[in-house]
Structure 1
Amino acid sequence: MKKWFKRAAFAAVCALHLGSAAAADVVIDAGHGGKDHGALGTLGKHQYMEKDFALDMSLQLRKHLRQQGFSVAMTRTDDTFRPLGQRLAYGRKHCRKLFASVHVNAAKNNPRANGVHTYVLQGNDATAVGKKSLQIARNVQKAFNPKRPEVRRARFVTLQNTTCPSVQLEMYFMSNKADLKKLADKRQRRAIAGKLAKVIGTSLKQRDAKAKAKPAPSAVKPQTSKPAAKPSRPRVPAKAAAKDKPAPLKKAAPKTAAKPKAKR
């Protein structure tokens, strides 16, 4: 009873905060938000927060994907905190083709770390959903980091949607000065979102085209050819057969031995 009540309460909270939107082709999860500012980065006297970059890029990503004809939903559209469990539940309920969690990376102990890193669920590569997730992550990785095309594996909560392909996109580093300058520039940041939308949109369209190109299994069972029957001999009427049948040979009488002549 307690478990049922907790589940019902959790579902009610999700519906209250995230709304009851219809299913969408793509669900975008803008990382962090509200009291959770995510990673921090400083340029001069100005401090930047990951949650702001993630939200702005996510909104731009939604705009560009809609222009390509995809329906898009978001786990947050403003500076609001959403627990990870709510984000995951929303993705499971509404996602049809892709759940994309957008973040900005950080490496305090390695300021040289830079670029885009993509993640998929660890241990899920062999499943149909895992293969689709991996393909999209690879396409994004190759588009932004052609020299480092490897996709990383992790067990992030937002990746644990086993019903819909899911990727986590770490768009550059807050801890790298060159990356942070790029993100702090509104034009460059929105160009990044536009490029990301193009890669994702192309990947989804190619996947849909392949699915349509596959021939549907035939419902009619193939006819198996039966072995050819042996040609039957023509029947001959009984009378004709009797006429044509040669007469039986008469047995020759056994030869009797000649009696010896009497001696004279």
Structure 2
Amino acid sequence: MLRYILISIAVLLINSTLIFAQGNYEWSSAKNGEGFNSFLLRNNVSPDKDLAKFKEVNKGRFTKNGDLIAGEKYEIPSRFRLLQASILGKDHQNVEQVDNSMSGAVLYLVAGHGGPDPGAVGTISGKKIAEDEYAYDIVLRMGEELLSRGAKVHFIIKDPNDGIRDDAYLKPDHDERCYPSQKIPRKHTRRLKQRAAAINILARNEKKTTYQRLVILHLDSRSKGNSTDVYFYHHSASKEGKILALSLQQKMKDKYAKFQPNRGYNGTIGTRRLYMLQTTTPPSVFIELGNINNKKDQLRFLKSENRQALAIWLCEGIKENYLKIKKK
């Protein structure tokens, strides 16, 4: 089998609308109605860190009110652009292209919480385990699998030094960033608005793509005696989101029937008025992977092979959903 090495994750994540590159700078044209945040995010530049410097470099190219001019070309110095070595980790930097079965699909993957918010916290062998670390590891594994099938993947929450990890205990930290490299706010509503805005900006730039899907991963927090199967939420008005949730649920049923035939699977599908489901434009599914406080559920994500299985099963469900829609 021919082995093709995908271009770096950095190139996949950087929007390809740049006009030309020369020396240590590049140029990009502003779109009609585009503001600074949208323009900079589209060009993989952090508004938080580099807006003032961007305005200084492009002095004289704005309206009298200081706004962007549609059609005007703006300089993007290379020192502004984010250095994006593969976030998958040193052992996963090159992704083998298995096939092109998902070529044309665009996926937005979001690991819940992050930065100052670890999400739900449990304990194992006297150590604290944080929801955001395990959701993030599974997101990375999903991303690797989807890339290997030819899909385009946008990782919305990223950690600069935590690639795919095989440890049972994933040490909590607080250095996650929101695409492209925004510091994650402490306040809950601001965090959600930040990542929803990043997704919607990216989605607008993928508007010619017929298949875009958003997948959000979380771990639940319940009493220790309450075990749950992987379950799903979608927007009540989203037919596409519901169809994707059904595909993922069916895949879980099939896998449990195959590998644990006497266990059964009781993961549910429902609707909830969750901010991320209500305010993001791509059809979306919100996934709860299990109860971080329950010992049986903890085995589902403490073992790296189980995290890998979850990632592959979810990706298989996404792939089947994509292929069915592609045939129509």
TM band (smaller chain): 0.5 to 0.7
TM-score after normalising by structure 2 = 0.54
Matching of residue 55 in structure 1 with residue 156 in structure 2:
no
- CA RMSD, 1 decimal: 2.8
Secondary structure of residue in 2 paired with 1:26: strand
- Show the counterpart of 2:46: 16
- Show the counterpart of 1:86: 194
Matches of 1:88 and 1:200 in 2, distance apart?
21
1:35-75, Cα deviation, whole Å (9 max, x unpaired): 10000111221221000001100000000011111100011
2:215 counterpart (91, 100, 103):
100
- Show the counterpart of 2:117: 36
Pairwise CA distance, 1:24: 7.0
Pairwise CA distance, 1:162: 5.7
What is the aligned-residue identity percentage?
Answer: 24
- Show the counterpart of 1:170: 288
- Show the counterpart of 1:194: 312
1:214-252, Cα deviation, whole Å (9 max, x unpaired): xxxxxxxxxxxxxxxxxxxxxxxxxxxxxxxxxxxxxxx
Asked if structure 2 preserves the Cα contact closer than 8 Å seen for 1:50 and 1:103, the reply is: yes
Which structure has the larger Rg over C-alpha atoms? 1
Give runs of aligned pairs for residues 198-237 of structure 1, distance below 5 A: 198-210=316-328
Give runs of aligned pairs for residues 240-251 of structure 1, distance below 5 A: none
Give runs of aligned pairs for residues 142-153 of structure 1, distance below 5 A: 142-145=250-253, 147-148=265-266, 150-153=268-271
Question: Which structure features the higher share of helix residues?
Answer: 1
Matched letter for residue 111 of structure 1: G
Asked if structure 1 preserves the Cα contact closer than 8 Å seen for 2:232 and 2:267, the reply is: no
Pairwise CA distance, 1:30: 1.1
Matches of 1:176 and 1:115 in 2, distance apart?
11
- Show the counterpart of 2:299: 181
Matches of 1:149 and 1:45 in 2, distance apart?
29
TM-score after normalising by structure 1 = 0.66
Q: Any unmatched runs of 5+ in structure 2?
A: 1-33, 49-80, 85-103, 160-174, 178-183, 185-190, 204-210, 254-263
Seen in structure 2, the aligned counterparts of structure 1 residues 204 and 184 have a Cα distance that, compared at 3 Å, is same
2:232 counterpart (100, 118, 127):
118
Pairwise CA distance, 1:103: 1.0
Q: Structure 1 residues 112-121 or 87-96, which shifts more?
A: 87-96
Asked if structure 2 preserves the Cα contact closer than 8 Å seen for 1:142 and 1:148, the reply is: no
1:75-111, Cα deviation, whole Å (9 max, x unpaired): 1221415321121112222235101111111213x63
Asked if structure 1 preserves the Cα contact closer than 8 Å seen for 2:232 and 2:287, the reply is: yes
Matched letter for residue 103 of structure 1: H
